[in-house]
Amino acid sequence: MIKAKSFPVGSDEWLQQVITASLFSDARAPESAELPDDSDDRRGHWADDQLPGNESLGSAGWLLVREKLTPQVMDKWRRVADRSLSWLASERWVRSVAVINVERQGDDRMAFLVDVQRLDGSRVPVKVEGQ
C-alpha cells in the first residue's frame, strides 16, 4: 500500500512540498526550444492537457541540465525557477514568492532559496536542494 503524506495547506511542510514539485517537475518545452537531448520529447506534466493555452506545470529547468553551471546559467535557473513558482501567487495561495538565491553545490547540483510571503503577511524562507 502506498502511503502519501499530506500537509495542511499553507503550512511550512506544504510550501516545501509544492515548491519542490514545481521546481523539479518538467514543464512542456515550447516549440521554439532547443532540446538538450536531441530528441523530439518536449516532456510536460500529465495535467498540462487540462490547462488553458500553452500553460504547463513545472519548470523548464530540464532544458538547462546539460549546461555548465556558470554565473550566467545560474541566473537563467533563477529566472526559470521564479516562473515555475509564480502560480502560487497568481492563484492566491501566497501573497508573493521569489527565488532569492540559486547556489551551486559541487559540479552538478544546486540549491534554491525561496522567499515566500504568506497571505497573512508573514514570511518564510524555503530551501530546496537537488537537480
* SS3 category, 26: strand
Question: Can you list the domains of the chain with their CATH numbers?
Answer: 12-130 (3.10.450)
pLDDT tens per residue across all 131 residues of the chain: 555 577 878 889 999 999 998 998 888 877 788 888 778 887 877 777 777 777 777 888 888 888 888 889 889 999 999 999 998 999 899 999 999 999 988 877 889 999 999 999 999 999 999 75
On whether the CB atoms of residues 113 and 100 are closer than 8 A, the answer is: yes
* SS3 category, 14: helix
Q: What is the pTM of this model?
A: 0.84
Q: Got the DSSP string for 58-112? A: SBGGGGGTTS---HHHHHHHHHHHHHHHTHHHHTTSSSEEEEEEEEEETTTEEEE
Distance CA 27, CA 41 (A): 11
Phi, psi of 53 (to 5 degrees): 60, -135
- pLDDT confidence of residue 2: 55
On whether the CB atoms of residues 86 and 97 are closer than 8 A, the answer is: yes
Sequence-separated (6 or more) residues with CB below 8 Å from residue 110: 69, 74, 77, 102, 103, 104, 129, 130, 131
On whether the CB atoms of residues 59 and 25 are closer than 8 A, the answer is: yes
Q: How is residue 2 written as a grid cell?
A: 502506498
